[in-house]
Amino acid sequence: MTERRKILVTSALPYANGPIHLGHLVEYIQTDIWVRFQKLRGHECIYLCADDTHGTAIMMSAQRTGCTEEEWIAGISEEHQRDFAGFGVEFDNYGSTNSPENYELCKEFWQAFREAGLVKEEAVTQLFDEEKGIFLADRFVSGSCPKCGAEEQYGDSCDQCGATYSAREIINPVSTLSGTTPTVKTADHLFIQIEQLHDFLEEWTQSGTHLQTEIANYLKGHFLNEPLRDWDVSRPQPYFGFEIPDAPGHFWFVWFDAPIGYMASTKQYCDRTGEDFDGWWKDPNTEIHHFIGKDITYFHTLFWPAMLKVANFNLPEKIHIHGFLTVDGKKMSKRDGTFVKAETFLKHLNPAALRYYYASKLNNRVEDLDLNLKEFTTKVNTDLVGKVVNLASRTAKFVQEIGLAETYPDDGGLFQQGADAGNAIADAYEACDFNRAMRLIMELADRANPYVESHEPWKLRKDPERQQELQAVCTVALNLFRQIAIYLKPVLPEIAEKTDALLGEPITDWAQAATPLTGSPVAKFEHMMKRIEEKDVDAMIEESKEENAAAAEAANETQFADSPQPLIDEPLAEEITFDDFMKVDLRVARVVKAEHVEEANKLLKLTLSLGGDETRQVFAGIKKAYNPEDLEGRLVVMVANLAPRKMRFGVSEGMITAAGPGGEEVFMLGIDEGAQPGQRVH
């Protein structure tokens, strides 16, 4: 075997502001599998993580629930760790960015930046919420676009005209935190002049070994083709974080201290085990691997290497970047019940099933992974229960009393083939191409079952003369099974443990897959894995839906807690008279035809009937929210006397009434049973 590597692995630090869900788990399960693989290969490998605990959002959450930030993050940390443990994600240390270790390390980094002369102070003018007493990040500001005047625009760009601008230029800005009009304030911020590391970053990102190629290209095209802007790493108080020692009243921005949290967690690990911290972060023979989602790419591929470089620590050997999770082809949705919390999954289903399913779908590219619930059920049942576990369950009891044969019988080369496949499987694991690894392993199972089939042990056992033959066949089957269990151990540690119990020989090393077990006793076979029932999957989705509904209801009950956001986004219009109102002729109409408009992103072409032969053609911006086929036949409320308007695709002779900000969030007005097309609404 190759020499013993020293590998430090991390997953992204989950933000301490919400529960772990199936989307998070893609990353933690992926990382955990990789780590367990490395450990099984005999390498020295540690897996570190921590909660990411700083920033405005945490402050707001603590405030809302009436506890201190420390209490808030302690509660979340406990939940997170419980959920990870539930899925067999095993960290060597789980820390927090709000730890003394992290503070000390932040100081060290900061000192290094100061000494390198990379820190610069500059005044930043920002909108300020007087009521809450905080500076407003762009996303907490809404108002009208300064270019086109479109209302309800957030932050620094307009989704109507595409203009980008500073939040300060927004017309009639409103703080989305308090609903008040923000004032303009100036504060000093500290910046890191990262451009001075441009050449280094160019070389590091483009070297071809540390990043996936699509990521390297992306960085090259977006950031490295122009001077890197200074990175704003401080926030004025109030802010939940670490106060910068040489700049009282200023705090490190959450993204400054978050990645340092990887190291703080290492520090805790070392303090606990007596290991040498520098051995992990300064020894050039140590490999550092970060697993992250594509959303935090630039922090990990530009800022983080720059920080490590300046502070003279090891650079990452590889940043493994994965895509997001979709469920049944769509983004996870609370309304559809596909936003499943880790906790909810565990109530209904076996975590091993998810580990295997993810493994069977993961590759080393930055693609999204789809959890197809139907496929999930059949794949896990067929592969794991039907093919793999079945090998043991169909043969173990035949040799329960006599144990395995003393010498390994002739199996036609099956075991050897499996041993030979070990390297290819290991390569796939190493490259994070778990999908390939799983396919290779299942090929072994697909060869093993026909072996059992053709040797018919169930017939042999009835013939007292052929007991030796029976023992031979079962010895082969159980060894083939164990070989598979070894290869699957990174994904399914529990199955491996149950195999240990069955055959009495612990699986501790990958190399064991090359040597068959002989002469050992065979214990009574115990079920290793239950089939997934479709009803359990349904129940999980149902419960997720209910959780969402309950949360929404609770929000309502707790003192009319509907968000003030809609009114903030669109304040009430000027008062009108009854006569004014009567000018608008609202009518019930039936959608008799609904069709897509070629070349239109948002529009559907609707033919509305007002009863009799009276019809209107209306173009409505609801394409992203409704399917045409679902609309046909439905009653809607339309503005029937609106002046026709010529649009690019034809004339629109009215307007459908609907609420919501637009895009996918459009909610058409319905009308109760009994209304007739043509009736006026008043």
| Cβ closest to RNA, residue 372 vs residue 520 | 372
Helical axes 22-40 vs 351-361, angle rounded to 10°: 80
User: And the tokens for 186?
Assistant: 């100036």
Contacts (CB under 7 A) with RNA, residues 557-576: none
Q: Is 332 in the site for RNA (CB under 7 A)?
A: no
Q: Are 510 and 486 in contact (CB under 8 A)?
A: yes
| Cβ closest to RNA, residue 442 vs residue 541 | 442
What does the alpha-carbon distance between residue 211 and residue 205 come to, in Å, rounded to a whole number? 7
Helical axes 56-65 vs 69-86, angle rounded to 10°: 100
Contacts with RNA by CB under 7 A: the residue count is 78
Min separation Cβ 431 and RNA, Å: 10
Q: What is the per-residue binding string for RNA in 490-529, x denoting contact by CB under 7 A? A: -------------------------------------xxx
Q: Is 295 in the site for RNA (CB under 7 A)?
A: yes
Contacts (CB under 7 A) with RNA, residues 8-27: 15, 17
Q: Which of 41, 132, 348, 394 binds RNA (CB under 7 A)?
A: 394
Q: Which of 228, 307, 594, 625 binds RNA (CB under 7 A)?
A: 228
Q: Is 296 in the site for RNA (CB under 7 A)?
A: yes
What does the alpha-carbon distance between residue 263 and residue 105 come to, in Å, rounded to a whole number? 8
Min separation Cβ 342 and RNA, Å: 18
Q: Is 453 in the site for RNA (CB under 7 A)?
A: yes
Min separation Cβ 122 and RNA, Å: 9
Q: What is the per-residue binding string for RNA in 598-617, x denoting contact by CB under 7 A? A: -x------------------
Q: Which of 66, 221, 284, 612 binds RNA (CB under 7 A)?
A: 221
Residue type, 378: T
Residues 6+ positions from 638 with CB-CB distance below 8 Å: 586, 587, 589, 608, 616, 618, 654, 655, 656, 657
Q: Are 581 and 611 in contact (CB under 8 A)?
A: no
β-pairing, 234-236 vs 250-252, is: antiparallel
Q: Which stretch binds RNA (CB under 7 A): 63-71, 88-96, 382-390, 412-420?
A: 382-390
Q: Is 248 in the site for RNA (CB under 7 A)?
A: no
Among candidates 110, 27, 8, 17, which has minimal Cα distance to 358?
Answer: 27
Ramachandran assignment for 222, one of left (phi > 0), alpha (psi -120 to 50 degrees), beta (any other): alpha
Residues 6+ positions from 81 with CB-CB distance below 8 Å: 94
Q: What is the per-residue binding string for RNA in 43-72, x denoting contact by CB under 7 A? A: ---------x--xxx---------------
Residues 6+ positions from 221 with CB-CB distance below 8 Å: none
Contacts (CB under 7 A) with RNA, residues 107-166: 124, 137-139, 156, 162
Q: Which stretch binds RNA (CB under 7 A): 68-76, 306-314, 441-449, 504-512?
A: 441-449
Among candidates 489, 481, 523, which has minimal Cα distance to 508?
Answer: 489
Q: Which stretch binds RNA (CB under 7 A): 67-75, 179-187, 220-228, 536-544?
A: 220-228
Among candidates 635, 644, 641, 645, which has minimal Cα distance to 677?
Answer: 635
Min separation Cβ 57 and RNA, Å: 5
| Cβ closest to RNA, residue 163 vs residue 514 | 163
The 8-class DSSP code of residue 639 comes to: E
Q: Which of 43, 318, 466, 531 binds RNA (CB under 7 A)?
A: 531
Min separation Cβ 519 and RNA, Å: 23
Q: What is the per-residue binding string for RNA in 298-327, x denoting contact by CB under 7 A? A: x---x---------------------x---
| Cβ closest to RNA, residue 235 vs residue 590 | 235
Q: Is 208 in the site for RNA (CB under 7 A)?
A: no
For residue 8, give Cα distances in angstroms to 41, 123, 209, 426, 556: 15, 39, 17, 19, 46
